[in-house]
Structure formats: structure tokens, C-alpha cells
Structure 1
Amino acid sequence: MFRSRAKEDAKTESANEAAETRPERDPQAPKGRPTPKRSEAEALRKAVAKPATSRKEAAQRAKKARRAALDKQRQALLTGDEKHLPARDRGPVRRYARDFVDSGWHIAEFFLPIAVLILVMSMIPATMGFALMLWMAVIVGIVLDSVLLTRRLKKRLRERYPDENLRGSSAYALMRTLQMRRMRLPKPQIKRGEEPR
């Protein structure tokens, strides 16, 4: 009981001595840094946000942050900004695979319009046989185009990025060929016939 009081007295004495030894700053003396502008101080205050006081406020902040991240991601999908793209679209290998697909024509990108045409033709009895033949031709064409595309893409990727992990790049490129050029995300960054970046 007496020991703890002695310790407290020793602490207060050392604090008083430290205060006495520290020289007081003259109010007219410069403080060593310029006074920030009001706009800078407000921006700093907003950047160093106060912690959430309730669960509801924390959920609202998290929702706003998620929405901002999704907006950045959506904008990146339209512009091709590599920094904010989703993880599946990021990296030089994926960018090259996208450009490789976007630089050429592929049968698979016309699959949906052809499928609608075949569906309409199959409803008409006179063109039912032709619809079946067209269906088979489209399937064979897509398979051949896909095999050739993956072979050429793998060869180019091995030459260009020998140390990178190429896993999944062929499937990524094939999924991109199934989308019509206008509907692809991230948006195509090169024209048809151009060399991939």
C-alpha cells in the first residue's frame, strides 16, 4: 500500500522536473512548419477519417467503399485501365490474350446470331434439313477455330512471356471469342488486323 504511493510520488516529481527543464516556446517564434491552407487541412481531416461509432455507420462506410471500388472497376473495364481491373483480367499475359483475340475474326463470336437463325429455320419445315447442316458446320467451325487459336496463342505467349505463369490464358481467350466484339469486357483496345501489344 505504501510502496505504490511512493512510486506515484516519484512519477509526479519526475514529470514536474521534465516540465521545468523544457524551455517554453516564445509565442512569436516560428513553429518550424508553414500553416496549412484551409482546403489542405480539410482534405487531411477527411482523409484521416474518424473511426465508426456504430455498426450501422461502419456498414454504411463499407458499402460506400465497395460501391466506389466497383465504379472504378466498371470504368476500368471500359477504358482498359490495368490498375483497377478485376484480378481475372489483370496482368500482361491476360492483356496479350485479349489483344490476340480482338485482333482477328472468330466464328464463335457469331454463335448467338447464327443460333437464332438456326432456331427460326428449324421451325420452318422446308428449311429444317438445312438448319441441321448449318448447325453441324458451325459447331465444327468453332472447334477448329478454337484449336487453332489456342495453339497459336500458347506459342506466342511462350515466346513473349517465358517466365510468366500461362495457366488459364487459353480458356480466358476462348471465353472471349464467345462474346460478340461489341459486348466484350474489358473493351477491345486494338482494331482487327492490328498486332497485339
Structure 2
Amino acid sequence: MLRRRSQTSADATPVPVDDPKPQGKGRPTPKRRDAEGRRRQPVNAPKDRKEAYRQMRAKQSSERERARQGMLAGDERYFPARDKGPARKFARDWVDSRRLPSQYFLPFSLFILLMTWIPWPANIQPLVIGYVITIGWPVMMFGVLFTSVYVAWRVKRLVAEKHPGESLRGVGFYAAMRALQIRKLRFPPPALLPGGKPVQPRK
């Protein structure tokens, strides 16, 4: 009787509602995969093949534009493989900081063609064409050939001195081909002005 009465009184004792010491966090601990799922951004899956193709083209266009802006800004991360490396950068800067005869090859070629296309008078046309073919064209070709050989030799020698650990393969040809291009059409864009001053960024 005593044991049953003491047990009944103990069970009947009410538990206070406002317990000053809460047990645990009051909520279950979330699983790891549930927490990671909430952090993930929802993915908009394409509805059909046409929508997927449109999204792919938009992504490729955005990447191409970002790469183009990076190349225009001189960011070497976006350069093609043939333009990367300190040797190629030195070659570009050396060519861009000088006015070379070979850079006028294309404008002079256009000038010669125009001279031959102009309807000169019958007594002058043979004379003009003769001078262009016998004097102008050979002088231009000799100047281009001499400049290209000099640029390739000079740049290759300077790269070997200033960057001894870099490969010299193709550096001379790279510099000679850049020297043949019109300055405004060179790519990557020149970083130096003729004379060596840096190009001011466009505002």
C-alpha cells in the first residue's frame, strides 16, 4: 500500500509548463542533404530542344563577348595560345613601339593597284605602269623583305638576352608578321605607342 501510494503521488505531480531550462534546441537537427538542397539555386531546365539550343547559344555568345573584352583590355588569360607568354609580349611591344617600313606594305600595295586602275591618257598610262612595275613594286618588296629579316633577327636576339628561359621557336616570325600589319588592325591591340609610351586606356 505504501509503495503504491508513493508511486501514485509521484506520478500525479504536475510538471511546470514554464521550465526555465529548455531541453535541447526545441527542433530536430536538419540533415546535411536537406541543408545543401536549400542552399542550391533552382535550375531552370529547358522545356524542349529548341529552348536548350537557345540557352546554349546565349551562353556561348556571352562567353565570346567576355573573351573579346578581355583581349581588348590586354588580359593574357583570354589570348590565343600563339600570343601568350613573356617572349610574345616582348615581341609585340618591340614592334608596336616603332614605325617600321613593313607596316606600310598593305597601304602601298593598294596605292600601286589604284595607280594601275586609273584611266590615264593613252600617252601617259604606259609610262605610269612602267614606273610602278619596274621601280615602285621592287622597292616595296625589297623594303618589306629587309625589314622582316631584321625584325625577326633583332627580336629573337633580344628575347634570348632578356628572357633566357623562354623558347625562341617562332618568336622572330611572330614579330615579323606583326610588323607587316597596319597598326590599327593588330590584334592583340598595341600596348605601346611609337616611341615607347603606353597607350592611354579609352574612357
The two structures have a TM-score, normalised by structure 2, of 0.67
Q: Which one of the candidate residues 91, 94, 115 is aligned to 2:85?
A: 91
Match of 2:110 in 1: 116
Match of 1:9 in 2: none
Gap change, CA 1:30 and 1:178, over 3 Å in 2: same
- Say whether the 8 Å CA contact 1:89–1:95 is kept in structure 2: yes
Shift of residue 177, structure 1, vs aligned partner:
1.4
Cα pair 1:109 1:181 within 8 Å, conserved: yes
Shift of 1:107: 1.8
Q: Which runs of 4+ in 1 moved over 6 A?
A: 28-31, 50-53
Question: Structure 1: where are the runs of 5+ without partners?
Answer: 1-23, 32-40
Offset, 1:186: 1.1
Match of 1:125 in 2: 126
Instruction: State whether residues 93 and 157 of structure 1, in contact with CA within 8 Å, keep that contact through their aligned partners in structure 2.
Output: yes
1:66 corresponds, among 60, 63, 86, to 60
Higher helix share: 1
Matched, 1:45 2:41: yes
Amino acid at match of 2:175: A
1:171 deviates by 2.0
Aligned residue number for residue 140 of structure 1: 142
Q: Does 1:192 align with 2:194?
A: yes
Cα pair 1:73 1:86 within 8 Å, conserved: no
CA deviations on 1:17-44 (whole Å, 9 max, x unpaired) are xxxxxxx96247999xxxxxxxxx99x6
CA distance in 2, matches of 1:89, 1:116: 28
The number of aligned residues is 161
SS in 1 for 2:41: helix
CA deviation string 1:110-164 (max 9, x = no partner): 1121112212223432211221211000100111111111111001111111111
Distance 1:62 1:91, change over 3 A: farther
Structure 2, unaligned stretches of length 5 or more? 1-22, 31-37, 118-124, 199-203
Q: Deviation digits for residues 44-103 of structure 1, max 9, x if unmatched?
A: 627xx5676765555444333322221122112322111222222222211111111101
1:102 aligns to what?
Answer: 96
Relative to structure 1, the CA distance from residue 54 to residue 92 in structure 2 (aligned partners, 3 Å threshold; closer, same or farther) is: farther
Distance 2:158 2:127 in 1: 46
Look at both structures and tell me which one has the larger radius of gyration over its CA atoms: 2
Deviating more after overlay: 172-181 vs 68-77: 68-77
**2:149–2:176 Cα contact (<8 Å) kept:** no
Q: Give me the TM-score of the superposition, normalised by structure 1.
A: 0.69
1:165 paired residue number: 167
Q: What SS does the corresponding residue of 1:45 show, helix, strand or coil?
A: coil
